[in-house]
Amino acid sequence: MGAGQSHSATTSAKTSAGRHKNRLAAALGLTVAFMIVEVVGGLWTGSLALLADAAHMLTDAGGLVLALVAIRFSERPATPQNTYGYVRMEVLSALANAVVLLLLTIYIFYEAYERFLNPPPILGGPMLIVAMFGLTVNLISMKLLSAGSSESLNVKGAYFEVLGDMLGSLGVIVAAGVVMLTGWALADPIIGAGIGLLILPRTWTLLKQAIHILMEGTPPEIDMPMLENELISIPGVDAIHDLHVWTITSGVDAMSCHVVVNDMSEARTILSRARAIMEEKFGLSHVTIQIDDRAMHESENPMKI
C-alpha cells in the first residue's frame, strides 16, 4: 500500500523562481547595459578593479540568463522520461553559476598578483564616476531580486552575484578615492583581490547547496531522528525503514519510507496519521509511504545504500 500527493514539482517551481522571472529579466537588462560601461571604463582608466567588476557582471549576466532558461524549462510538463519535469534545471543552473564564479575569482587573484608586481597608471576620477554608476545599478538589481532570494536557490544565486557586484563597486570607489588622493596605484589590484575574497564565501555556500541537492541530501531544516521518532510513535507502527527525505528543487521537498504495522486492518488510519504528521510538523506534502506487515517486511530485499 502506498500514498503520494498529486502536487507537481512544476507547480511549485512556478510559485518560487517562476513568479520572479520578470524581475530577473529587468536585472539582466541593467546588468548587461552597465557591464558594457564598466568594460569601456576599465580599459580607459587602466583599472583592474573596474575590469574585475565588469568580469563579475558578465558572470552575473550569464547567471541571470541561466536562471531565466531554468525557469523556462521548469515550466515544461513532466514526461514519461522525465517524471519530475525539468525543475532540476534550476539546481544545475545554480551549480554552473558557482563554478564559473569560482574560476573567475581565481583569475582575478592572478591578475591582481601581476599588477601588484607591475602596477599600471590609473585614472582615478573617471574610475570613481563609473563605480558610482555601478553601485546604483547594483542596488536597483538587488532590490528587484531580494524577495525571490529567500524562495528559490536559482534567484538566490543571482542575488548573491549582484551582492558581490555591489561590494565590488564599493571597493572600486575606495580604490578610486585612494588613487585620486594619494596616487598610490597599488590600491587598485589590492581592491581587485579584495573583491574576489568577498565573493568566495557566498559562492562556496551556493556550490555546497547545489551539490547537496544533486546528491539527494536531506534538506537542512529536516530533523531526521525527530521525523523517524514521530512515525514510530504512531500507535500500531512496529518499525520504519528505507526512510528518505530529499529536495527536488527549491521549495519542493519529497519523502518516502516503508512503515511496518502490526495489524494491516489499521493501515488506512496509520497512513492518514503519518501523512498528517509529515504535512503539519515537517512541511512535507510530496509524500510516498508504503505500508508493510511483518511477513512482507521480512521477505523484502533491503536497499544496499
Cβ–Cβ contacts within 10 Å for residue 122, how many? 26
Q: Is 46 left (phi over 0), alpha (psi -120 to 50) or beta?
A: left
Residue 11 has pLDDT above 60, yes or no: no
- Architecture field, domain 224-299: 2-Layer Sandwich (3.30)
User: Which homologous superfamily is 9-214 in?
Assistant: Cation efflux protein transmembrane domain (1.20.1510.10)
What share of the chain has pLDDT > 90, as a percent? Answer: 21
Q: How far apart are CA 245 and CA 153, in angstroms?
A: 18
| ∠ Cα 264 269 271 (to 5°) | 85
Residue range 27-85, pLDDT digits in tens: 888 888 888 888 888 888 888 778 777 777 777 777 777 677 767 776 777 777 777 77
Residue 243 has pLDDT above 50, yes or no: yes
Q: How far apart are CA 70 and CA 267, in angstroms?
A: 41
Of residues 269 and 123, which shows the higher confidence score?
269
Q: Where are the domains of the chain?
A: 9-214, 224-299
pTM of the model: 0.71
At 298, is the pLDDT very low, low, confident or very high (cuts 50, 70, 90)?
A: low
Q: How far apart are CA 149 and CA 141, in angstroms?
A: 12
